[in-house]
Amino acid sequence: MTTIESFDARLVRVPLTRPWASDVTSVGVIATHVVRSDGAEGWGFSWTPQIGAEAVLAHLNHDIGPFAAGRTADPSELWDAVWTHVHEAGGGGVTTIGLAGLDLALWDAASRAAGRSITDHLGRERDWVEAYGSGVNLHYPLEDLLAQVQRWIDAGFRAVKIKVGKPDLAEDVERVRAVRELLGPDRGLMIDANQRWHLEQAVRSVEVLSEFDLGWIEEPLRADDLAGYTALARRIDVPIAVGENLHTVHRFRDFLQAGAAHIVQPNIVRVGGITPFLRIADLAAEYSVPLHPHLLSELSGQLALTLPAVPGVAAPLAEDVEDAGFGALGALSYPSPVAIADGRLTLVPHAGLGIRFR
């Protein structure tokens, strides 16, 4: 049996070109490195925008790494044992974000040892996926927002997503109307409220904004409000997208069983890495619900290429957040493992995950 010989982690602060908010000027990356007993090496990472990076680093170095040492280097076999070990500190959140750092490094080692990209190691199902333009832009003046949307149009994106949730609904209406007019009728438009509304606000806001032909409303309520989402799904016609702040396959199952999610968006790091992401993808296929991975296109785009087609279900989309790609931010030692052009994400030849931080 190939085992884990050593594991280490370090914190890297990646400055943002344009802050996501007044208190979000960088993202925290915990870069990880594993050495297997056969000499194969792998590099992975954990990630959190502003809160908790130091806690994740401590969790990896104090709890996860020491427990994993000497155990199997097969990530799909190891994951449940580590999750069971750290579960006392929480079923998700810091625990699963930390677990991703180990899981991704092990998948990187496995695919590197096989001489393949992670996409081809898992099994490539398609050569490209559609990408949509996305941005952390609620604080942008309308002029800046429209300039951003125009950049996405010029770049060939066929769909875009913008933030909503202004204190005055009239301002949301003004912004969404202006974006829809700029996009025209043939491009998709999605909106993301980032958990800013309570149930009645969400019902009222979506009723008003639905006139702009919305592809989905993302996280209108607090992410853990299953009862609220279940009620909201019965009261609005716009599809509800959730998942970036759900941390386990169990929570995704809760939402799907309740009919509270029409689209799921797992964040590969927040759910604990590739191993649980693949389980969530199987669950989404079982319920015939589209899955569009959240953020981190340099990783999630590679996995989107591996997702099998499900009859009658929309193909996965890659989210390209402006000013957020690790390559664009100058954080990587090598070129990005993916390329996005004319609204499509494709693979750039590489081994493993192709993501190593400076």
Q: Which domains does the chain have, with CATH numbers?
A: 4-113 (3.30.390.10), 119-347 (3.20.20.120)
9 within 8 A of 30, measured Cβ to Cβ: yes
User: Where on the phi/psi map is residue 296: left (φ > 0), alpha (ψ -120 to 50), or beta?
Assistant: left
Give me the residue label for tokens 């049996």: 1
pLDDT single digits (tens) 159-190 = 999 999 999 999 999 999 999 999 999 999 99
**Which pairing describes strands 240-242 and 217-218: parallel, antiparallel, or unpaired?**
parallel
Q: What is the pLDDT of residue 323?
A: 86
Tokens of 27: 């993202």
Q: What is the pLDDT of residue 239?
A: 98
Nearest-angstrom CA–CA distance, 13 and 331: 9
Q: What is the pLDDT of residue 208?
A: 98
Active site residues: 163, 294
Dihedrals phi, psi of 221, to nearest 5 degrees: -115, 170
Q: What is the pLDDT of residue 309?
A: 96
- All residue ranges of the chain with pLDDT < 50 are none
Q: What is the pLDDT of residue 61?
A: 97
Nearest-angstrom CA–CA distance, 82 and 91: 11
**pTM of structure:** 0.96
Helices 199-209, 169-183: inter-axial angle, 10-degree rounding: 40
Coil vs helix vs strand at 165:
coil
Please list the residues that pair with 224 across neighbouring strands. Answer: none
pLDDT single digits (tens) 122-155 = 999 999 999 999 999 999 999 999 999 999 999 9
Q: What is the pLDDT of residue 19?
A: 83
Q: What is the pLDDT of residue 102?
A: 98
Residue 162 corresponds to which amino acid? I
Nearest-angstrom CA–CA distance, 209 and 313: 25
Nearest-angstrom CA–CA distance, 304 and 283: 15
**Which pairing describes strands 159-163 and 129-134: parallel, antiparallel, or unpaired?**
parallel
113 within 8 A of 38, measured Cβ to Cβ: yes
Q: What is the pLDDT of residue 296?
A: 93
Q: Under 8 Å CB-to-CB from 25, ≥6 apart: which residues?
A: 15, 16, 19
User: Of the candidates 289, 325, 333, which has an alpha carbon nearest to the alpha carbon of residue 307?
Assistant: 289
Tokens of 3: 């085992």
Q: What is the pLDDT of residue 69?
A: 97
